[in-house]
Chains A and B, each alone.
Chain A
Amino acid sequence: MKKILDRRLFLRTTATAAATVAAAGGTTVIAASNGAWAMTLSSFDAATARVLLVMTRDLFPHDMLGDVYYAEVVESLDKKAEADPGLAKTIETGVAALDRATGVPWLQLSPGGRTEVLKSIEKTPFFQAVKGETVVGLYNNKLVWHHFGYQGSSAEFGGYLHRGFQDAGWTLEPDAEASPPPPA
């Protein structure tokens, strides 16, 4: 399976665009209308993927993040569902339950309405599976880190010894007994 995801293109846009769908040989591809990203799915159908794309964002909404990062979470969940029929079933029934919750398709609800439905299913294995995947996958994506000011791996840069580990000049200056100088 070929993963279609152009991060360079994404970096030029933060648009959250309506997805378009193409199906080819048992594989579902959902692409942003502006071509910024696409996800390739083996287990979920397009409708399920679109619900999950919105749900993952509703769970951990960051306006500064484009859909591509949430799409990666959905892709990862899809891959797991492909290998785990039990999980695939959990997702399928969970998505159906979202639509049944108010009688109005979940995606057609207002953001507040969607959140209310999510709250009502918090205890379900479906919710836990999607939330667990998102809280790990979204924040473990190295491409989102700079949005939060997290710099990640430092050993390859020689650590922070000469890169600002004590540059918070707005604090009191500790005395040399409390905080001795670094090695020369």
Chain B
Amino acid sequence: MARYELSDDSVVVVIGSGAGGGTLANELCQKGIKVILLEAGKRLSPEEFVNDEWAAFVQTAWLDKRTTSGSWRVARDFPNLPAWICKTVGGSTVHWAGASLRFQPHEFKTRTVYGEIPGATLLDWPIGYEDLEPYYDRAEKKMGVTRTNGIPGLPGNNNFRVMYTGAKRLGYKTVHTGRMAINSRARDGRSHCLQIGFCFQGCKSAAKWSTLYTEIPAAEATGKLDLRTECQALQIQHDAAGKITGVLYADKDGRQHLQKARIVCIACNSIESPRLLLNSASSKYPDGLANSSGQVGRNYMRHTTGSVYATFDRPVYMFRGTTMAGIIQDEAGHDPKRGFAGGYELETLSLGLPFLAAFLDPGAWGREFSRKLEGYAHMAGMWIVGEDMPQASNRVTLHPTEKDRFGLPIPNVHFDDHPNDIAMRAHAYRQGAAVYLAAGAREIYEVPPYPSTHNLGTNRMSARPQDGVCNAFGQTWDHKNLFISDGSQFTTGAAENPTLTIVALAIRQADYLADQMAKNAI
């Protein structure tokens, strides 16, 4: 592994090792570029992962205190846990379920297609599907996505079989075991899926793609990567001209270091990325870096989610096998006749008993709630993933008084549903229930959104500097050597799980960076 000097100002510093940062770091290293990858968490191996929901949560989740506000129920039930994302090498690719769907072409131009929606800050992406298509190809190949590149789909588990039964009886057409970055056959030196379950807890067989055991070791093999674990970025620094000069970070012992850099790329997920920019405020940039538009932290999106669980006469054992085992795509399109803009996917999801108790109806107790849990073995579950409306007031801000252990303000996450989100969720609950009733459900449970796993949009890309934080390559408008490399650059959220698009954007950004560096443009 490479070791670069703190004073080496020829390096690219990537902050965060998840889908965006881990991929970007590897792509740059493959091109011979020197990369320092800062990761706040520890490096675990698949052997260290545990098939135990609470233990794995403590092992991998980002548990630093955050606060919440707004009318979303998460603020009431989980006031200090707005998001369920990871602090570990590999970031949230350790925790993700593997669903790898391309955006639909119209989802890159929602302002044009949906029109003006009051209260929403819809904006067309500065890129179209055709710009990203070749990078989707490369991302799918890299990640080994099923149903692409001749890779067969995964076998459906019981939870999928129940969904399939109801969906077919209801007349839904596009129902299958999904496009998943989980090996259905051994590939890329990794096992085929053993249907362990516990996809959210870290895949012990490494059948599920994670930067932890794909991108990062590949980058290390080039001799170009300097991975610094348990190193948390505190502040990005700049010179008098506004050029970024380096990153101040704290190591595992709390000692602070200043790493010089030619280019800095931020990929800390959509809460920490804007927080880092805001915490980097200086006398020259009192509102934070890259924030001349005032857009840093705004337009926070989390997908319109919710779950439908149902109990049946016969056992299901939904926990056996992959967590996201199948999908219904018939509702994913834009069909305003349904009473809302945008669409949603229905994907199976299962929780173990410990997490179902925490999430089925947060706050509930008593005989009736206990009775529901006693139906656990006969329960099937699905998750709604729909496009939510960006809103300027849905926002990550710095807490006015509370500080972290480094003395920096902690983030607050404010979220209110848009009426479009509420209408979509109601429709999805209805359709999800209809699927399960068609499969013979005895009882249906509409479950409120969990803490966010898809955090998007807080440093969005835009065609014009005044509308967003970065351009079509994730390059910030205000600092040409500062890049946004995670889901926070999403202009809008689309109906699809975001990871494949984050990876495609990272590959594209690496090409751009290498080109600009070669031309000495940065």
Contacts and interface: CB of A to CB of B under 8 A. Distances in A.
Interface size class of A (residues with CB under 8 A): 35 or more
A58 B370 CA distance: 10
Contacts of B30: none
Nearest to B365: A59
Contact of A179 (B177, B198, B370): B177
A11 interface: no
A86 interface: no
Nearest to A161: B195
Interface string B283-321: 000000000000000000000000000001111110111
A155 B370 contact: no
A40 B276 CA distance: 47
Nearest to A145: B353
Contacts of B320: 151, 154, 160, 163-165
Interface in B155-202: 155-158, 160-162, 164-165, 168-169, 175-177, 184-186, 192-198
B196 A168 contact: no
A153 interface: yes
Contact of B319 (A59, A64, A115, A151): A151
Contacts of A25: none
A171 B480 CA distance: 56
B54 A140 contact: yes
A15 interface: no
A150 B164 contact: no
B154 A180 contact: yes
B157 A131 contact: no
Majority SS at the chain A contact face: loop
Given A148-B374, A179-B155, A139 B196 contact: no
A72 B192 CA distance: 39
Interface size grouping (class) on chain B: 35 or more
Nearest to A140: B354
B360 to A, nearest CB: 10
A162 to B, nearest CB: 9
B161 A171 contact: yes
A166 B157 contact: yes
A168 B316 contact: yes
B168 A172 contact: yes
A103 interface: no
B419 to A, nearest CB: 30
Interface string B369-386: 110011011100000000
A166 B194 contact: no
A135 B358 CA distance: 7
A154 B51 CA distance: 7
B354 A170 contact: no
Interface string A31-75: 000000000000000000000000000111110100000000000
A155 B354 contact: no
A163 B194 CA distance: 10
Contacts of B373: 60, 62, 139, 148
23 contacts: A58-B366, A60-B357, A61-B367, A62-B370, A136-B354, A139-B357, A145-B353, A148-B376, A150-B377, A151-B319, A152-B52, A154-B196, A160-B197, A167-B158, A168-B161, A168-B317, A171-B158, A171-B165, A174-B156, A179-B164, A179-B177, A180-B177, A180-B184
Given A139-B358, A171-B439, A172-B169, 9 more contacts: A136-B54, A136-B358, A148-B376, A155-B51, A171-B164, A178-B164, A178-B177, A179-B153, A181-B155
List 3 tightest A-B contacts by C-beta distance, closest first. Answer: A149-B377, A159-B194, A179-B156
Interface of A: 58-62, 64, 115, 131, 135-136, 138-140, 145, 148-156, 158-161, 163-168, 170-172, 174, 177-183
